[in-house]
Structure formats: structure tokens, C-alpha cells
């Protein structure tokens, strides 16, 4: 599996992974009519905008992708400065891998890549928000994250709980 920084032309492939992986991940956690509204086209446009930021020289925002041996993008991660008030400096915004490629060590490798990049930007701690009930909780626990908080959010009429996990010392992720 090849891990590399994302390029401008990756927007559509990242959007494909984002929509498909979200639909399989949240099928038992969020209503179907919400999941069916996810659009490849809208997501691709959003990722185009994000890639425009991440590929600029002076930025604290990064996107990495994982490619299979055929050069197809099967997972991605993005992260940067923490959003909102927090004692943590950095944040993983999204991490998604296609279902067929999960549990093969790709998540671990993507986290390591972004942690290295954020630590090079002098960020010393990092956190992530995860939907309650998502098995990804066990993934973060396996990577020695500490549970640091939770919040109730409402998006498009759907109420759900998000749990925050954090690493006080980003270096822990570099040795994982
Ligand atoms: C969560 C996710 C990113 C993990 O990446 P991954 O490549 O599947 O995980 P890894 O193979 O690197 O797993 C590392 C360790 O984490 C733990 N782990 C990972 N997924 C797990 C799961 N579903 N249940 C229990 N433990 C899990 C295991 O200890 C695993 O080590 P092992 O396979 O040797 O037992 C990936 O499964 C995914 O994209 N899920 C769907 C999207 C999602 O939920 N993203 C997170 C949003 S916050």
C-alpha cells in the first residue's frame, strides 16, 4: 500500500471513498434517507476546495491518501489546526478507508503520515471526533488515544453524540 500526499487531481477519487465509506460505516448509526443524500459531485467539489488549500506552500492543513497496487485511492486522511476551543493543538478532521481495505493497517499508516507532518509543523498534541457507536472508537483506543470529551450535535435534524479522543504527545503516533 502506498501512502502519499494528495494532489489536486485526487478530488473525485477522495470523494468516492468518502461517500462509499461513510455509507457503509454509518448504515446502522444514521437514517438511510440521510445517507442516500450523499453526493459524489458535491463531495468532489468540497475536496477540490480543500485540496486547493492543502497543496499551497504555507499551510497547516494536509491531506494524505492510500493507494492500492493498481494506483487506486482506497483511503484518505486530512488534518490540521484544531477547530474550536481545545487544549489540543492539532485535529484529524476525517479518516476513511473503503470497507474492503479496512483492518489491513492502512488506518494506522495514514495516522502516522499526518502525525509526522503535523509534528513537523510544530504541533505537539492531536485529537479527533468520532460518532458514538462507530467501531473506529476501538481503532483509536488501539492507538493509545485517551477519551477526552463528548458533545451532542444536531445536523439536518439528526441528534447524535460525538466522542473526542486525544493524544497529549503526538510522538506516540510516530512510533506506532
Ligand atoms: C476506523 C478506520 C480508519 C481504521 O483503519 P483500519 O485500516 O481499518 O485499521 P488498522 O488495520 O490500521 O487497525 C489498527 C488496529 O486498530 C484496531 N481496530 C481497527 N478497526 C477496528 C474495529 N473495527 N474493531 C475493533 N478494533 C479495530 C485493531 O486493534 C487493529 O489492529 P489489528 O487489526 O492488528 O487487530 C477504518 O476502519 C475506517 O475507515 N472505518 C470507516 C470510517 C470511519 O469510521 N472513520 C473514522 C471516522 S472518525
From the CA of 103, give the closest atom in ligand 1.
11
Find, among 116, 105, 113, 172, the residue nearest to 139 by Cα: 105
- Residue 79 near ligand 1, beta carbon < 6 Å: no
Res 70: pLDDT? 97
Per-residue pLDDT of 106-148, as tens digits, reads 999 999 999 999 999 999 999 999 999 999 999 999 999 999 9
CATH numeric code, 2-124: 3.40.630.30
- Domain-by-domain residue ranges, the chain? 2-124
**Residues facing 8 on adjacent strands:** none
Res 8: pLDDT? 96
Per-residue pLDDT of 35-84, as tens digits, reads 989 999 999 999 999 999 999 988 899 999 999 999 999 999 999 999 99
Res 130: pLDDT? 97
| Alpha-carbon gap, residue 44 to 56, rounded angstroms | 18
- pTM to 2 decimal places: 0.96
Find, among 133, 135, 127, 132, the residue nearest to 165 by Cα: 127
Top mutation candidate among 30, 96, 107, 126 for ligand 1, by most atoms within 8 Å of CB: 107
CB 153 within 8 A of CB 132: no
Amino acid at each position: 500500500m502506498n501512502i502519499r500526499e494528495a494532489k489536486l487531481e485526487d478530488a473525485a477519487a477522495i470523494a468516492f471513498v468518502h461517500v462509499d465509506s461513510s455509507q457503509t460505516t454509518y448504515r446502522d448509526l444514521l437514517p438511510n434517507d440521510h445517507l442516500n443524500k450523499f453526493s459524489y459531485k458535491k463531495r468532489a467539489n468540497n475536496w477540490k476546495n480543500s485540496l486547493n488549500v492543502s497543496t499551497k506552500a504555507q499551510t497547516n492543513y494536509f491531506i494524505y491518501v492510500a493507494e492500492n497496487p493498481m494506483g487506486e485511492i482506497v483511503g484518505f486522511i486530512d488534518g490540521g489546526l484544531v477547530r474550536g476551543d481545545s487544549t489540543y493543538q492539532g485535529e484529524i478532521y476525517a479518516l476513511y478507508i473503503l470497507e474492503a481495505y479496512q483492518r489491513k493497517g492502512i488506518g494506522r499508516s495514514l495516522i502516522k503520515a499526518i502525525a509526522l507532518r503535523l509534528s513537523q509543523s510544530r504541533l505537539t498534541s492531536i485529537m479527533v471526533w468520532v460518532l458514538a457507536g462507530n467501531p473506529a472508537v476501538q481503532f483509536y483506543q488501539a492507538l493509545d488515544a485517551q477519551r477526552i470529551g463528548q458533545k451532542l450535535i444536531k445536523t439536518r435534524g439528526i441528534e447524535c453524540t460525538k466522542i473526542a479522543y486525544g493524544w497529549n504527545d503526538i510522538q506516540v503516533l510516530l512510533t506506532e
